[in-house]
Homo-oligomer: A and B are copies of this chain.
Amino acid sequence: MRHVRLLIEYDGTDLCGWQRQANRPTVQQHVEDALAKLLGHDVTIIGASRTDAGVHARGQVASFRTDKAIPLVGIRRGLNTLLPDAIAVRDAAEAADDFHPRFSATGKHYRYSVLARADRSPRLHARAWHVHGPLALPAMQHAAAALVGEHDFSAFRAAGCAATTTVRRVESIAITRSEPDVCDIDVRGNAFLRQMVRIIAGTLVEVGVGKRAAAEVAEILASRDRGRAGQTAPAHGLELIAVGYDGARVRS
């Protein structure tokens, strides 16, 4: 049976996350409904990352199976006609039969954006976490270095996380000023625990505003205690930039 891989971009502001839920608008529900219209049969899609409500993506990957011979360009264009403005398909490609968006992934790249200034920004309202006061980027970079590598990230996972193993490998954390008042935290890793990037971002911001010492982050990691890490940064600052496969490094 034919297996098709989709590259999906979405603005998560008015969506209830990736995963289908009864009577709530989610990315999975919108894409499955559009595919059902396009193909004339029920479709279940599998996504690489089950993003939370409010989280954005420019590089979500999903796949589905069909017996229909509709060309890839017709799938892409047809979906973009049927999907709401908040969701678009950037690419459609034939996938190997054993391809699995989540289990085949060898890396993911998330970006967490923080607006650090006294006043709100209408432009970044739904795309960056607004915190007051300037951020000390060198301290944040120093703290982030302790998280790079293969570690037990128990201290940085949400209470309800069902993962059986808590060891993950973070390839890199880059902290840069993308605009005078905006700090981007780019996290690349092989896989992530539930809300791990948002807890890392929340903890690093506490270092950036001087609420915690940079050296504390290594201790938090070693403690494996979620109670010691910082707050979970809000969903709307997070974006899934890319998912990598085939051992290749995650592209952004």
Copies of this protein in the complex: 2
CB pair A85–B120 under 8 Å, yes or no, is yes
Is A206 close to B, CB under 8 A?
Answer: no
Write out the residue numbers on chain B whose beta carbons fall within 8 Å of the beta carbon of A80.
119-120
In the assembly, what is the distance between CA of A10 and CA of B90, in Å?
A: 29
Binds B, one of A18-26, A45-53, A121-129, A195-203: A121-129
Q: Chain A, 81-123, contact with B by CB distance < 8 Å: what is the 0/1 string? A: 0000111111000000000000000000000000000111111
Q: Which residues of A contact B (CB under 8 A)?
A: 9-11, 56, 58, 76-77, 80, 85-90, 118-123, 125
Q: When the two chains form their complex, are residues B9 and A123 in contact, meaning their CB atoms are under 8 A apart?
A: yes
- A123 to chain B: closest residue by CB: B11
Q: Do A125 and B90 have beta carbons less than 8 Å apart?
A: no
A36 to B88 CA separation, bound complex (whole angstroms): 43
Assembled-state Cα–Cα distance A118/B9 (Å)? 14
